[in-house]
Amino acid sequence: LLESGISLESVTRLLLIAERSGSDLDAVSELYRESGDDIDATAERLDVDPADYSDERVTAAIDEATSPPPTETVELDNGDKVTGTVVERTAEMIVLDHAVLGRMEIPLGQLKQPAPPNPGLFGTDFLEGWTRTFSLGLSGQRGDSKTMDIIGALDADSENEKRRWAFDARYNFSTADSDTTKNNAMVSLGRDWLFSESRWFMFTRSRFDYDDFRTWKYRVQGDAGVGYQIIERETFGLRGRTGPSVVQEWNENQFRAEWLAGPELVWDLTANQKIEASNYFYYSFTPWGEFRNVSNLDWKWNLSQKPALSLKAGVENEYQSDVAPGDKKNDLKYYTSIGIDF
């Protein structure tokens, strides 16, 4: 049709009429000639509404036909990535048109397979799909003095389009010349409720702390509120949280009602390194005027995939404006450990 002198716009209209009427393009072209090259008369004879070949539909069809084909990036099992136009897909291979290398036939067996979801524990559905890491750090000395430091941790998290879970548990025990110098533990569980196509979310969190060297010794905390995803990129995320918090400390038998606010950061430095950081400010209403500030920084470096080993390091500092006699206002904890995903 184009070779016979008919414009691209008219040919596109005839194609749309043929598609709508279910007729062969050659038959529509014949009717077009019999109608004196009148598009509307041709459509009327085939009972096609003019809206079906309107200017908007013609423009969209031409743009779709003339736009360059989309490119796709595939990753090979050796880690190399290839970008090109997909020419063909079969049960055995994918065919790409590469800008430099030309036509490439890549067997599907050479493509990197997607990671399967993590199975549940002990062959059950419990924690299925969760990322789970157990970490252990040991240090010691035998000589003029005897020291030992043990830290163990269990981290687990899971996220989909509707919710986000995070579980953390840590234990730290240290001795020097047979005297205990550290004996503390922490367990926390948090859940975020996510909303599709919205940066807002709701959250609840609970935390239990034990410290043999603090006046309160046992502490339970519960938070709830709203959050907002400030930045969300493939390798970088920043969100904030705010809401009420309640704290109960034993030994001193002190209850506090607080308001929390603070940011969280997740940054994939490289394919194998990740940094997570947070800073929460807690303002107390009972008693009025006191406050706490809790800062966290964690770094993880994936060392291998099979087994999934990682090197981990982190630091946490809690500042409390008013403490019992004998307690320090700053409580700094830090660790290094080797982790394994399971």
| pLDDT tens column, 184-234 | 999 999 999 999 889 999 999 999 999 999 888 999 999 999 999 999 998
Q: Say if residue 88 is exposed, middle or buried (CB neighbours under 10 Å; 0-12, 13-18, 19+).
A: exposed
How far, CA to CA in Å, does 149 sit from each of 113, 170, 184, 270, 334?
41, 13, 12, 31, 12
Q: Considering just the CA atoms, what is the radius of gyration of the chain in Å?
A: 32
Q: Read off the tokens for 119.
A: 């199975």
Backbone angles phi, psi at 228, to 5 degrees: -140, 130
- Helices 55-66 and 8-21 pack at an angle, to 10 degrees, of 100
Residues lower than pLDDT 50 in the chain: 2
Q: Read off the tokens for 153.
A: 């941790």
CA 243 to chain centroid, in Å, comes to 23
The predicted structure's pLDDT at residue 327? 84
User: Can you give the pTM of this predicted structure?
Assistant: 0.66
Cis peptide before 325 (omega within 30 of 0): no
DSSP state, 108?
Answer: G
Which residue has tokens 């907002």? 228
Average pLDDT, the chain: 90
Residue pair 249/219 in contact (Cβ under 8 Å)? The answer is yes
- Residues 2-43 pLDDT 10s: 456 678 888 888 889 988 898 888 888 888 888 888 989 999
The predicted structure's pLDDT at residue 209? 96
Spell out the residues 6+ positions from residue 67 whose beta carbon is closer than 8 angstroms to its own. Answer: none
The predicted structure's pLDDT at residue 116? 60
Q: Read off the tokens for 8.
A: 């691209």
